Structure 1
Amino acid sequence: MSQFERRFGKYAIRNLPLVMIICYAVGYAIRYINPDFLMFLNLDPYKIVHGQVWRVITWLLVPPTDNNLFWIILMLFCYYSIGVSLERTWGTFMFNVYIFSGILLTLVGAFVILGIAYLIGGGLYAAVYSQYVAAVFSTYYINMSILLAFAMTFPDAMFLFMLFIPVKAKWMAIVYLVILLIQFITGGLFVRVALGMALLNFAIFYFTNRKGLGIKPVQMQSRTRTPKPVKRDLTRSSGIVTRHKCAICGRTEQDVPDMQFRFCTKCEGNYEYCEDHLYTHSHVRMS
């Protein structure tokens, strides 16, 4: 656990995927009841700097455009499942960092465009540009980055394309990357900035955590495997006597000296976990 996580980990939102889905559900409800009201919620940086500060948060309620109720429900279920899998694998704090850094970068991109518009043509020009930002900047590209992160973590996970064609996550990710690349090339400034910020978030997270964790993202799926029992007595690793070993990741107090290890009282058997997996593992049942 990093020092940053030790200091701010207590503020992480548990079950963040459910919170995100609830926000989308509220947004879709508003779209069906009073779609014009969404105009007061979207990400309009010009109006934010002129007093409508609630838009910094409320744009997260604006869901991806879709009017088919069946596909909306399917999309919500799909992203909830993906989010839960990532949260359980990465840990609550790391998943929070990934989502909120994507949100922050999107906000930064929106205000960068606003600043450029001010420099080019002043306030009137900025107001017009800001309307285009509000139309393009949404959670759509953040959702795409979540899907890419899932594919990097679980490359062999299966999706049912069109509900009956099995496709591995890594191939789905490649298709999405091609689509995003086409959008980046053919889209205007607003699409490129919004898309670029989402991909930048994914790239930063991928490379920094691959180095920090000492494992490749495609190996993270091993963290959710069924743990094997670890004896309470001493074990030996590379000739060094260790007293603790996580049943999920295999780390010991020799690997991370200041890490805490605990036995789970809800697992049936002698299972010990590090602090990263004590509350995120699946409980073992003998029957």
Structure 2
Amino acid sequence: MRKLSDAIDRFCLNHPRFGIPGLMRYVVIITAAVFFLDAFSKNAASTILAFDADAILSGEIWRLLTWIFIPEYDRVIWMVVGLFFYYFIGTAIEEYWGSAKFTLFYLSGVVLTVAFAFLSRLWTPWTVVTNSYLNNILFLAFATLYPDALIRLYFVLPIKAKWLAVLYVFLTFYDIVRMDTYAVKLLLPSLLPGLVAVWLVYAVFFWDRIRDVLADIGFLTRHKRSQQTVHFKSAVRQQKKKEAQRGYRHKCAVCGRTDADFPDLEFRYCSRCAGYHCFCQDHIFNHVHFTE
């Protein structure tokens, strides 16, 4: 996976002119045009452009690509909001990566989605291909590159993009887990290939980020299990046990008062004394320093 990710970066570096500058602008414009054509043709435009494996095998090869322009919403207000949002995040990703890498990322999602759709015909006659997974992975890429970007949910509640991405991942797996037996047998075989395709694209293009996260998790696991950590925790438990047996935590080395008898009294430790000696607030600056 790492070699493939590095190969993509090298390709984009050596071919900076590869790609379509302003790709999301064209996607948004064509999608808006299809939306208005559907409004006057009773969704005839979407029917002609939608992915259909049998129709593609019969010669309608334009369906291999035109399914990405099928509108997700049937209401004008949500259509405008959706197109504006995806244009915004797509443009931001392109500015971060450059046109070459962003175009390769988007087209890779399209190609793998189509490939997995045809592959799914080996076990199910129903092939479902929509641009919803592609748009969702586009947002996930944006949240990875701009995790602290504020997005106003329903135009009111500001939420950082990384938390919305976490919510999307959680809801995706939650929807799969909560499926009943009928849905698992009928819908999951036709829907899962598209999800796996776009997640595979995300894993390749963001392998460095994923590797860093896994390394951090591995470090934390090793740190929790290291002998140094185990010994430190053991020493803390022993200290707390001794304090419980004594009945106090701090005891002045001069007057003998403790924090158990005088809870409002402040205690300090003298850095000039040899050893570890505690003094109350009355003797911290008024005592004979301990020496070796």
**Fold similarity call, TM over 0.5:** yes
Q: Which runs of structure 2 are paired with 1:162-177 in the superposition (5 Å)?
A: 162-177=154-169
Q: Percent identity?
A: 27
Distance 1:37 1:27, change over 3 A: closer
Amino acid at match of 1:31: D
Cα distance between partner residues in 1 of 2:141 and 2:103: 13
Give 1:163 deviation, angstroms. Answer: 0.9
Which of 15, 30, 46 lines up with 1:38 in the alignment? 46
Q: Distance in 2 between matches of 1:190 and 1:8?
A: 36
Structure 2: stretches of 5+ with no match in the other structure: 1-7, 180-186, 212-292
Residue in structure 1 matched with residue 95 of structure 2 by the alignment: 88
Between the aligned partners of 2:151 and 2:173, the Cα distance in structure 1 is: 22
- Choose from 16, 19, 28 the match for 1:21: 28
Say whether 1:204 aligns with 2:196: no
> Partners in 2 of 1:22 and 1:207 — Cα distance?
32
Q: TM-score, normalised by structure 2?
A: 0.62
Task: Return the letter of the residue paired with 2:145.
Answer: T
Q: How does 1:204-243 map to 2 (within 5 A)?
A: 204-207=204-207
Query: 1:263 matched to which residue of 2?
Result: none
Q: TM-score with structure 1 length normalisation?
A: 0.63
Shift of 1:57: 1.9
Q: Matched residues in 1 for 2:12 and 2:74: separation?
A: 40
For residue 109 of structure 1, the aligned residue among 109, 116, 123 is 116
Q: 1:210 to 1:179 in 2, by over 3 A?
A: closer
Superposed CA RMSD: 2.3
**Structure 2 CA distance for aligned equivalents of residues 162 and 178 of structure 1:** 20
Unpaired runs of at least 5, structure 1: 118-128, 212-287
| 1:170, distance to aligned residue in structure 2 (A) | 0.7
Deviations 1:83-140 (A, max 9, x none): 11110011111111110100011011111022445xxxxxxxxxxx2xx32xx31111
What's the CA shift for 1:181?
1.3
- The CA distance in 2 between the partners of 1:71 and 1:3, in whole Å, is 39
2:66 is aligned with 1:58: yes
Whether contact under 8 Å (2:71, 2:79) holds in the other structure is no
Whether the 8 Å CA contact 2:18–2:99 is kept in 1: the answer is no
Conserved 8 A contact 1:63-1:138: no
Partner residue of 1:138 out of 108, 125, 130:
130
Please give the alpha-carbon distance, in whole angstroms, between the structure 1 residues aligned to 2:115 and 2:156: 40
Deviations 1:204-248 (A, max 9, x none): 11105878xxxxxxxxxxxxxxxxxxxxxxxxxxxxxxxxxxxxx
Residues 201 and 2 (structure 1), Cα distance of their counterparts in 2 relative to 1, 3 Å cut: closer
C-alpha separation between the residues in 1 aligned to 2:44 and 2:158? 39
Residue 155 of structure 1 aligns to a residue whose secondary structure is coil
Q: Give me the whole-angstrom Cα distance separating, in 1, the residues matched to 2:176 and 2:210.
A: 26
Q: C-alpha separation between the residues in 2 aligned to 1:166 and 1:105?
A: 34
> Given residue 192 of structure 1, which amino acid in structure 2 is its aligned partner?
L
Distance 2:90 2:23 in 1: 8
Partner amino acid, structure 2, of 1:110: A
SS at match of 2:61: coil
Q: Find the aligned partners of 1:3 and 1:162 in 2 and give their Cα distance.
A: 40
Equivalent residue number for residue 188 of structure 1? 188
Shift of 1:59: 1.4
Measured against aligned partners, the alpha-carbon deviations of 1:257-278 in whole angstroms (never above 9, x if no partner) come to xxxxxxxxxxxxxxxxxxxxxx
C-alpha deviation, 1:158, in angstroms: 0.3
Aligned to 2:119, the other structure's residue is in SS state: helix
Number of aligned residues:
197
What CA deviation, in whole Å up to 9, does each residue of 1:54-93 have, x standing for no partner?
A: 21122122121x2221111111111111111110011111
